[in-house]
């Protein structure tokens, strides 16, 4: 068997086959036909803002259409001390891409319920808020036209960029956040800003990550396969992480 054939077999077994299985599952899942018929209102996931002193949340939910089989959409929610409302920031594919409060902070996304990827609350969140403000303001693809669905920069590329800029937050996007590994030009090579992972990304098309935060990951065309060492589970392309607890 030639090297090329072995590579094709590995790609098929570890990336394409799981992705096709996830696509088959998604195709029979009940979901709205278009964004007009989808639910976008609050899911009630976050506590009432008046009761939350300070907080920073990264949320994610399956996206719409067939894309939802393979990827989530992620966004950032900030709660400032003394304020009675949340601020939501996410990137979209139309108009000015970075949107502030264009949906409820914990709203459904295409009728799909959100979940908290990572959060920090209290005094620690209050100290990190200025860094998040600066990272959001400095995002390099915030102009109209600064969105590309694949390999990025898309919604998940935006959140991943901010998380890299505020390494003390400690969060990582899930493996099915397609676009999170986007890197312009020739990509990236080296330790992550928080020093917990070693990352190689060839523009978001291929690469790998290994370390205490991410475990072991192999990236191919936006899909991620690997092992989650913290939750003890498998990272399945398209589906996400299947953990034992």
pLDDT class of 30 with cuts at 50, 70, 90: confident
The answer on pLDDT for 91 being more than 80 is yes
Please report where in the chains the tokens 């397609």 appear, as a residue: 178
pLDDT digits (tens, 9 = 90+) for 131-148: 999 999 999 999 998 999
pLDDT at 245: 64
Burial of 115 (0-12, 13-18, 19+ CB in 10 A): middle
Q: Rounded distance, CA 72 to CA 105, Å?
A: 16
pLDDT digits (tens, 9 = 90+) for 39-89: 999 999 999 998 778 999 999 999 988 899 999 999 999 999 989 999 999
Please report where in the chains the tokens 């937050």 appear, as a residue: 169
DSSP state for residue 48 in the 8-state scheme: P
Q: What is the residue-averaged pLDDT of the chain?
A: 93
Q: Where are the domains of the chain?
A: 3-243
Query: 206-211 and 223-228 as β-strands: parallel, antiparallel, unpaired?
Result: unpaired
- H helix or E strand, kind and range, residue 223: strand 223-228
Kindly list the distances between the CA atom of residue 155 and the CA atoms of 7, 13, 58, 90, 96, in Å, as whole numbers in the listed order. 30, 28, 12, 6, 13
Whether the model clears a pTM of 0.75, i.e. scores above it, the answer is yes
Comparing 99-103, 119-123, 130-134, 183-187, the range with the smallest average pLDDT is: 183-187
């Amino acid at each position: 068997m030639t090297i090329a054939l072995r590579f094709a077999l590995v790609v098929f077994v570890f990336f394409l086959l799981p992705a096709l299985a996830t696509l088959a599952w998604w195709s029979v899942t009940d979901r709205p036909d278009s964004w007009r018929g989808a639910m976008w209102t609050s899911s009630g996931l976050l506590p009432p803002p008046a009761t939350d002193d300070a907080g920073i949340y990264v949320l994610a939910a399956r996206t719409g259409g067939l894309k939802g089989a393979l990827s989530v959409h992620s966004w950032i929610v900030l709660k400032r001390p003394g304020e009675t409302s949340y601020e939501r920031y996410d990137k979209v594919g139309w108009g000015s891409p970075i949107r502030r409060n264009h949906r409820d902070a914990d709203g459904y996304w295409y009728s799909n319920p959100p979940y908290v990827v990572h959060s920090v609350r209290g005094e620690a969140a209050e100290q990190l808020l200025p860094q998040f403000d600066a990272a959001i303001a400095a995002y390099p693809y915030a102009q109209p036209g600064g969105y590309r669905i694949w390999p990025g920069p898309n919604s998940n590329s935006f959140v991943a960029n901010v998380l890299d800029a505020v390494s003390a937050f400690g969060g990582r996007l899930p493996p099915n956040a397609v676009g999170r590994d986007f890197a312009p030009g020739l990509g990236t090579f080296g330790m992550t800003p928080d020093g917990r992972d070693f990352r190689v990304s060839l523009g978001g098309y291929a690469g790998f990550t290994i370390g205490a935060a991410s475990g072991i990951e192999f990236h191919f065309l936006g899909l991620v396969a690997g092992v989650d060492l913290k939750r003890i589970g498998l990272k399945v392309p398209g589906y996400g992480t299947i953990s034992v607890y």
